């Protein structure tokens, strides 16, 4: 384990940057009350009612699902021809595990799924309690007409879907495609084969007018949230014990995320490598321009790996940044990983790094070097994380947070005040 010994900022620097200390109370208090009343951190023991009505495979006219029924989603269901699928608060949708099951909101159609804090909408496995597992079913795919970073300005969604309902992308960055609030997506992310893996929630080229917040994705077999271009902003998001990435950005996605949580486990990871945040400036296979790189701003993130001294060696970096992607993170907590961020070789200079990445007014607890990069000298890359607080010795998850392993409502409040940690200069 590498021990990082870095000087404490002098008093004059702390005066110049008071935000480091002034925001301490807001960071260390229980600021995650928004999670209460609609989340479920132990869904494998939840008893859901049996499905009593099937959802049709093709929805080509406005359709309303009511909460006095439990629905079965089986096979690929497409909302098409500009139809709107509306789901009432408190509705439960059981998802078939025997077939590749997905809900696809095609381009021009709409999804209105307004759950309430006490009545969330739930998409979950059709299996019984204790039998559910990651990747039991596919996921939810929402397709928009926003811009993407590709020479063709359009694309075909990933997976084996009907081609007439699979086109995404365009120039309408103000489009409203979906309203989704207080919704849980459990045990999605089915892996069809080595080249087809489905995400809990796939967002293709969504415009700014879409509203997505208070969404929890747990036990996904692939990514939890994946953004393929578009400009939609989102807040109050939870990714819990996913197998692959928690938040994946590609194809020139440009937007802001606020109040996001990623909780990983050191023994749960994809063979290809998994991160809490993976961001690509563009897709190498499709091509793209340097003028439309993925650019993401994240505020108030809690990015946790539930590692301790017996298993921390199984962790990787919290963030993977590739193909000159641009990422700005503020007021956040990153803990339990080997590194804070890993850069690929598209960043050919320290100028590239400084233009593309910033972490500010945050605290991190990692067990290896803070920044992984192929550039020399490596020490210069560590200055990317200046004006943050950090632990000089790796802390296990139970030593760092109040109640991180609680199965009812984990609590990621720091056990010690932020100003007891070292400040990087």
Answer yes or no: are the C-beta atoms of 178 and 209 closer than 8 Å: no
Res 34: pLDDT: 95
The SS3 call for residue 142 is: strand
For residues 407 and 43, give the distance between their C-alpha atoms in angstroms, rounded to a whole number.
Answer: 10
In 306-400, where do the E strands start and end? 317-322, 326-330, 333-337, 339-343, 357-360, 363-366, 371-372, 389-390
CA angle 351, 355, 361 (to 5 degrees): 115
Res 1: pLDDT: 40
Res 271: pLDDT: 74
The SS3 call for residue 105 is: strand
The SS3 call for residue 399 is: helix
The SS3 call for residue 208 is: coil
Res 195: pLDDT: 67
pLDDT tens, position by position, 119-149: 999 999 999 999 999 999 999 999 999 999 9
Res 8: pLDDT: 35
pLDDT lower than 70: segments of the chain? 1-31, 194-195, 425
pTM of the model: 0.92
CA angle 158, 160, 165 (to 5 degrees): 80
pLDDT tens, position by position, 49-60: 999 999 999 999
Res 425: pLDDT: 58
Residue 220's alpha-carbon distances to 135, 187, 254, 268, in angstroms, are: 6, 5, 24, 11
For residues 82 and 165, give the distance between their C-alpha atoms in angstroms, rounded to a whole number.
Answer: 11
């Amino acid at each position: 384990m590498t021990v990082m010994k870095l000087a404490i900022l002098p008093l004059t620097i702390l005066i110049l940057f008071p935000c480091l200390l002034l925001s301490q109370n807001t960071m260390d208090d229980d600021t995650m009350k928004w999670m209460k009343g609609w989340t479920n951190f132990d869904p494998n023991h939840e008893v859901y009612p049996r499905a009593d009505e099937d959802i049709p495979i093709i929805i080509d006219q406005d359709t309303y699902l009511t909460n006095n029924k439990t629905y079965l989603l089986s096979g690929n269901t497409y909302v098409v021809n500009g139809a709107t699928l509306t789901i009432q608060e408190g509705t439960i949708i059981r998802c078939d595990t025997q077939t590749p099951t997905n809900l696809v909101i095609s381009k021009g159609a709409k999804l209105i799924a307004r759950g309430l804090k006490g009545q969330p909408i739930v998409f979950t496995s059709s299996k019984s309690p204790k039998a559910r597992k990651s990747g039991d079913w596919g996921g939810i795919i929402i397709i928009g007409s926003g811009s993407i970073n590709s020479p063709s300005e359009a694309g075909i969604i990933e997976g084996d879907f009907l081609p007439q309902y699979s086109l995404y992308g365009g120039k309408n960055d103000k489009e409203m495609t979906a309203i989704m609030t207080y919704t849980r997506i459990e045990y999605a992310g089915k892996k069809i084969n080595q080249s087809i893996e489905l995400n809990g929630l796939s967002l293709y080229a969504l415009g700014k007018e879409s509203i997505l917040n208070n969404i929890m994705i747990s036990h996904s077999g692939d990514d939890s949230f994946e953004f393929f271009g578009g400009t939609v902003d989102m807040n109050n998001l939870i990714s819990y014990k996913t197998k692959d990435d928690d938040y994946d950005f590609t194809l020139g996605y440009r937007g802001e995320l606020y109040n996001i949580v990623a909780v990983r486990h050191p023994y749960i990871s994809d063979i290809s490598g998994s991160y809490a945040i993976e961001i690509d400036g563009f897709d190498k296979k499709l091509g793209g321009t340097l003028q439309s790189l993925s650019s993401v701003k994240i505020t108030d993130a809690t990015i946790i790996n539930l590692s301790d001294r017996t298993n921390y060696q199984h962790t990787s970096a919290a963030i993977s940044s590739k193909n000159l992607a641009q990422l700005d993170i503020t007021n956040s907590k990153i803990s339990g990983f080997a590194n804070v961020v890993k850069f690929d070789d598209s960043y050919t200079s320290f100028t590239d790094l400084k233009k593309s990445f910033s972490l500010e007014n945050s605290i991190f607890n990692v067990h290896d070097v803070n920044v992984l990069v192929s550039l020399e000298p490596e020490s210069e890359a560590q200055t990317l994380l200046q004006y943050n607080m950090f632990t000089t010795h790796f802390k296990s998850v139970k030593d760092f947070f109040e109640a991180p392993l609680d199965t009812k409502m984990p609590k990621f409040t720091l056990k010690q005040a932020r100003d007891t940690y070292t400040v990087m200069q």
